Structure 1
């Protein structure tokens, strides 16, 4: 199995290596690194891997033989028609890996071992391991935060940057709090089986319209539910320390002004791709980030939820290929951001220049700042807060359960 050792950590009296599991797909001089989000594994990128390379069959176990074998344009995927970054011939090679804390990669026991900066260095180590000088980097959700850090740490290694369903981390990780979100958070924390987890994941990641769409004799929800249960059962539920570590990475993520300046001025193009109905990463935060990265960034606003890459794979894949092709044609950042982009719902023309978010500090208020500072100090996430509430209710219910027979006895006496 393909592993990359990226670091070492102390476990008791011994030092253990931190290993990342990765897969490679397709062949070609155009390199694409895919960075997955919170609790996801490399398999989450299947539809994008298929769109970029034309196949989801890994090539890492047979790389030497694969390199010698000729490929047709159809086998090379959508990237076959474009010139390569290094001028070595057509085709795209993709690498997707499991972040530390999930899948077949190392599960580190301490939260301090997880941050977007640490995980960005993991991604850079994977590129070094593969011998890639540069790559087009696409990240989803937490993976997009990691990709931003990677672009700030090593901008010379980035061909282009694609950010799917991204936020700025920290307080922006808090979803819009309403009845639906509170219910989902409660059920997520209580989920102990793949079946329970699958129900929550579907409602969190997709729009209701997409799930309720009829496909032959059943709904898409029913089909996806079976797939989710199968996949979760096969890979197992993510360990609590891995999940808490990755949540910590999201919660402590922040891009400084200097890092934003580095990304914006590095010369590569940026696409911010987002689903309008995302209840996890709110669209307003993605628009704000795109605006702060002008003139290098273009906002691509699609109908869909947090997994817009699954709901609208063709449109997402087209947006990714547009970014790769624009990079190959040496398009200037201001030309890239000023070009209109079609949205999936109305076909209306929009551009990153028209996307602005006015942050009104007076409306945010001192209370929000105080809450942020408090939570940052104790490194608590939204789910932790909900967990405390849930545990409080459970504790009160147990007290009532214990006290009820005592009260009855007292009344009878």
Structure 2
């Protein structure tokens, strides 16, 4: 594994070198940490080099955002900066929620830098239920603080029975997440960027091969958002899982990994 920093973005390359090879770039959701993808790493590294990075303002990347309005287009531009730092002309992009939306934006803003795209629990336009969930999280953060925000997070991410079975694990992770929580203004800007994201009228411009993957019991992003993406994109496949919640890449990685590998291999 090699790591680096480009324009404040911390990135890691696993399974290199990359010359002459297809490469997979993983982009996480609102939390921003590349470590989110640990359940996918072994399955991917058996076949491809993998790039992880922490979103701007999170993890080991710079803990601030550039001045002025911040949007999903800025998240997509950061993907290009990471690819440039590694000398990658293009990459397969796998994104969860915020990372998936950034991948869709990348397909519009820099289509030549994208090979295939996988969007997990993403959306193309604001949805009332997503807004309700994010409004609740904003109030938790503003009125109570990061501790309450982090403590409530599993409710939005995972099925109730999985939370019960993994209570000890989640409590152990909670202190880590609180200690590494981004500055309040960074998290609020990231949430507002997602709430403002709307490319619904441009979906027919995205001609890349896309896998849309979604869980029927996602408590944060209704599966209808993913169904809309799959139905409106010109060249999309759709994977529906019955159980696993918003974070089903964590709760049921085997099901997701099989579809992910098959799609990237062209099956």
TM range (shorter): 0.7 to 0.9
Q: What is the correspondence of 1:165-244 to structure 2 with a 5 Å cutoff?
A: 165-169=121-125, 171-172=126-127, 174-175=129-130, 177=132, 187-192=140-145, 194=147, 196-212=148-164, 219-233=165-179, 236-244=180-188
Offset at residue 93 of structure 1 (A): 0.8
Write the distance in 1 (CA, Å) between the matches of 2:4 and 2:182.
21
Offset at residue 261 of structure 1 (A): 2.3
8 A Cα contact 2:11 2:51, kept in partner: yes
Q: TM-score, normalised by structure 1?
A: 0.58
Distance 1:230 1:193, change over 3 A: same
8 A Cα contact 1:36 1:141, kept in partner: yes
Write the distance in 1 (CA, Å) between the matches of 2:128 and 2:61.
24
8 A Cα contact 1:198 1:225, kept in partner: no
Q: Partner of 1:2 in structure 2? A: 4
Offset at residue 155 of structure 1 (A): 1.8
Q: Partner of 1:324 in structure 2? A: 264
8 A Cα contact 1:39 1:246, kept in partner: no
Whether 2:240 is the aligned partner of 1:284: answer: no
Whether 2:15 is the aligned partner of 1:26: answer: yes
Which residue of 195, 202, 206 maps to 1:251?
A: 195
Q: Structure 1 runs of 4+ off > 6 angstroms?
A: 181-185
- CA deviation vs aligned residue, 1:284-321 (integer Å, no higher than 9, x gap): 11111110014x11111112211111011111111110
Q: 1:304 aligns to what SS in structure 2?
A: coil
* Residue-pair matches, total: 260
Distance 1:255 1:20, change over 3 A: same
Distance 1:111 1:237, change over 3 A: farther
Q: What is the correspondence of 1:290-329 to structure 2 with a 5 Å cutoff?
A: 290-294=230-234, 296-302=235-241, 303-326=243-266
Write the distance in 2 (CA, Å) between the matches of 1:244 and 1:201.
15
Q: 2:58 aligns to what SS in structure 1?
A: coil
Gaps of 5+ in 1: 6-18, 54-76, 80-91, 213-218, 330-413
8 A Cα contact 1:176 1:282, kept in partner: no
Task: Name the larger-Rg structure.
Answer: 1
Distance 1:138 1:183, change over 3 A: closer
Distance 1:290 1:36, change over 3 A: same
Distance 1:46 1:312, change over 3 A: same
Whether 2:33 is the aligned partner of 1:45: answer: no
Q: TM-score, normalised by structure 2?
A: 0.88
Tell me whether 36-45 or 136-145 shows the greater mean CA deviation: 36-45
Offset at residue 52 of structure 1 (A): 1.1
- CA deviation vs aligned residue, 1:213-259 (integer Å, no higher than 9, x gap): xxxxxx312222212323432xx2211121122122212212153x4
Write the distance in 2 (CA, Å) between the matches of 1:129 and 1:316.
29
Q: Partner of 1:404 in structure 2? A: none
Offset at residue 175 of structure 1 (A): 2.6
Offset at residue 138 of structure 1 (A): 0.7
8 A Cα contact 1:25 1:93, kept in partner: yes
Write the distance in 2 (CA, Å) between the matches of 1:271 and 1:220.
29
- CA deviation vs aligned residue, 1:373-410 (integer Å, no higher than 9, x gap): xxxxxxxxxxxxxxxxxxxxxxxxxxxxxxxxxxxxxx
Q: 2:37 aligns to what SS in structure 1?
A: helix
Gaps of 5+ in 2: none
Whether 2:217 is the aligned partner of 1:274: answer: no
Q: Partner of 1:108 in structure 2? A: 65
Q: 2:84 aligns to what SS in structure 1?
A: helix
Flag the structure with more relative contact order, 1 or 2, with Cα contacts below 8 A and sequence separation at least 6: 2
Write the distance in 2 (CA, Å) between the matches of 1:318 and 1:173.
32
Q: 2:56 aligns to what SS in structure 1?
A: coil
Distance 1:297 1:33, change over 3 A: same
